[in-house]
Amino acid sequence: MKRMITLSTVTMLGFFLPGAALAQTAKDLVGTWTNTSNVNVRVDGTRTDVFGANGKGTIIFDSTGHYASVTLNADIPKFASGNRNTGTPEENKAVVQGSLAHFGTYTVADKVITLKVEGSTWPAWAGTEQKRSIVSFTGDEIKWTLPASIGGTGEVGWKRVK
């Protein structure tokens, strides 16, 4: 009897401890989220902020299974010409390396978010399935990892917008 009580207590604690909740269905993600961290962990273990110290981003998951995500370096300089079609090679490079946007549909199963990318500013992702392994989920904060498009592993954190 004592063992059963201990097991029940441990089981119940697992449901109420911060970070212990896990996104079980797509409904758990519905809403708008703001990016709190986006770190690349290189093979040698070094870490860098992918979108700089002032990186910003938002991801929106809707109730019909669609999502849209935009992440960027907030410090990208404005184009001197004031025209996005006439940026210099350096200005265009700063935009490409300092931003990533994609959209499509999503599902959640077994602690993994699967994004079916319909379109992306990183063309290699368009038409692919991208897996995000959920590291932690509290209901209002989520962290996941993924193979990074720049090499290494991405560690990404989000906070629900209220």
Residue pLDDT, tens place only, 44-83: 999 999 999 999 999 999 999 999 999 999 999 999 999 9
Strand partners, 68: 60, 103
| CATH code assigned to 21-160 | 2.40.128.280
Domain residue ranges in the chain: 21-160
| Whole-prediction pTM | 0.83
Within 8 A by CB and 6+ apart from 72, the residues are 51, 55, 56, 57, 98, 99, 100
Report the alpha-carbon distance of residue 161 to residue 158 in Å, rounded: 9
pLDDT of residue 162: 92
Regions of the chain short of the pLDDT cut 70:
1-23
pLDDT of residue 3: 40
